[in-house]
Amino acid sequence: MEAEKAQKLLDEAELIHSSEVVSAAVRDIASQISARLADKNPLVLCVMTGGLVFCGQLLTQLNFPLEFDYLHATRYGPDTQGGKISWRSAPWTSVKGRTVLVVDDILDEGITLAAIKESLRRMGAAEILTAVFTDKLNGKQKPISADFCGLTVPDRFVFGFGMDVDGAWRHLPAIYAMKEGE
């Protein structure tokens, strides 16, 4: 996306969650995860690329032994509508017999996260938990719910804090929604 177009999109967007609200939610979810997993030495798997910002900030607040790796599965690519799941990279670390925490940016329709969880189950993970930073209130029946969730977002196209719009604004510390009708 051209810089001018990206800036106009941000200028016209609606702030959904400020950076202060986002930071507080990360602290809260880190506390919940710590209470649940501190004695498990879990394998934390970041779902690339959207989960990167959330996972990076979350990891700095988990003060217990863990291992870290990533996977890359997506339904979006450059599009704003989900399509077929594209598997780009499986975790390098074995999940067999492990407690695994999958960290992602958003639970939209839940199809990707459900497929990831099923794949990890087939790979032999003993326990699979999921943490998403946002859960979209889209009114749809989702095949999965997150074990840990930071914030909810409306049924609009949102971006910031890991979520992008046509490759732009993934790095923002707050969450925005595109102008209605975009």
pLDDT digits (tens, 9 = 90+) for 91-115: 999 999 999 999 999 999 999 899 9
Report pLDDT for 80: 46
Pair of tokens at residue 93: 């670390």
pLDDT at 76 (0 to 100): 56
pLDDT value, residue 74: 72
Structure tokens at 54: 């959330």
> Which residues have a Cβ under 8 Å from the Cβ of 79 and sit 6 or more positions away?
none
CATH of domain 18-155: 3.40.50.2020
Which residues fall within 8 angstroms of residue 181, CB to CB, at 6 or more apart?
none
Other beta carbons within 10 angstroms of residue 89's beta carbon come to: 11
Walking along the chain (182 residues) 10 residues at a time, the average pLDDT comes out as 94 98 98 98 96 97 97 66 68 96 96 92 96 96 97 97 95 94 60
The answer to whether residues 51 and 162 touch, using CB atoms and an 8 Å cutoff, is yes
